[in-house]
Every structure is written in C-alpha cells, then in structure tokens.
Amino acid sequence: MKSFIISMMCIACFLAFTTSSLKGPEDHPEFKSVHEAVSNYVNGLYMVDTTLIEASVHPELRKRGYWYNSNAGAYRDNLDMSFNQLRSLAGKWNLDGKQANEKTIKKIEIYDINSKTATARLTAAWGLDYFHLAKLDDKWMIMNVLWQSLPEEESK
C-alpha cells in the first residue's frame, strides 16, 4: 500500500510538472498586449497609420533586413532602418492601397513571453519579421526587428 501511495504521488508530481511546462505563450497574462504591439506594427504599415507605429515601436529601434532581388537572383543584405524611417515608411508605403488590403497575409506568432522580454514572428506582404520586445513602463514595445523577403521569392 505504501508503494502504491508513493507511486501515485510520483505520477501526480510528474503530471503537474508536464502540464505546467506545456503552457504556451498564449496562456501568458501578457499575451494580448504582446500580440497588440506586433499587430500595431503591421497595421501601421498596412493602414498607413503612423500613430500605431509610435504606439508599439521604441524610438531606439534596430531593424535590419534581407531583401531578395529576383532580377539579380540574390539577396541585398544589411538593410538598416531606424524608427524615424519606419514611421515615415508607414505614412506612405500603402497610401495607394495596392501593397496591402484586408485579405493580405498578416500572421502573428508569439514564441515566448517573460516578465520583461518577448519574441514574436510576423508573416506579412513584404516577408518575415522576427521581433524582440521589451516591457517598458508597463507597455510592450518592439526593440529589434530582423526580417527577410518571403522565402518563396527565391524560387521565382
């Protein structure tokens, strides 16, 4: 009987441990806030709304990317963009409505959320963005973006 009780306690501990370790970022209490920061970023560009960029991107943004030039068949590397350049781009990139609309891809994946840091990925019209976010003054802000053109463009 004693071994049965010990076995049951071990199983209960194992289940408690595995259940708690299986929780994903969507279970984190800050999930909606992190998701909103990334959503503001993409919607700022899609909807030509610089206020959304200002609400979710830190002024000390570091953004670097890799654009695939299908004519040259190669990537153009290390394309840096500052916060001010991003804000300016958001004010004009989709002004004619031809770059993005309500059907344009906008897939946000949150990978990890901690008390002060988070990571996420966005699949958008221009490609893939990988984000580092920080919680500053009780608000999630995008600090770093690493991006590249959509991989499918390489095979065109």
Per the domain annotation, does 7 fall within a domain? no
Of 26, 30, 22, the C-alpha closest to 111 is 26
Residue range 12-41: mean pLDDT, rounded: 78
* Segments forming the whole domain that contains residue 82: 31-155
Per the domain annotation, does 80 fall within a domain? yes
Going through 31-89 in order, the beta strands assigned E by DSSP cover 57-69, 74-81
Tally of structural domains, the chain: 1
Q: Does 108 have pLDDT greater than 60?
A: yes
63 near 80, Cβ under 8 Å? yes
Within 10 Å of residue 15's Cβ, how many Cβ atoms? 10
129 near 47, Cβ under 8 Å? no
Distance of CA 155 to the CA centre of its chain: 25
Mapped onto helix, strand or coil, the DSSP state of residue 90 is helix
Higher pLDDT, 152 or 35: 35
Q: Any idea what the CATH number is for the domain that residue 55 is in?
A: 3.10.450.50
Average pLDDT of the chain? 88
Q: What pLDDT is stored for residue 77 in this prediction?
A: 81
Residue range 79-87: mean pLDDT, rounded: 95
Q: Does 64 have pLDDT greater than 80?
A: yes
Q: What pLDDT is stored for residue 19 in this prediction?
A: 45
Which range among 24-33, 67-76, 147-156 shows the weakest confidence by mean pLDDT? 147-156
Q: What pLDDT is stored for residue 146 in this prediction?
A: 97
Per the domain annotation, does 108 fall within a domain? yes
Per the domain annotation, does 25 fall within a domain? no
Per the domain annotation, does 82 fall within a domain? yes
Which DSSP symbol is given to 153? G
Per the domain annotation, does 97 fall within a domain? yes
Per the domain annotation, does 68 fall within a domain? yes
Per the domain annotation, does 17 fall within a domain? no
Q: What pLDDT is stored for residue 137 in this prediction?
A: 95
Of 135, 130, 152, 151, the C-alpha closest to 41 is 130
- How far, in Å, CA of 37 to CA of 133, rounded? 9
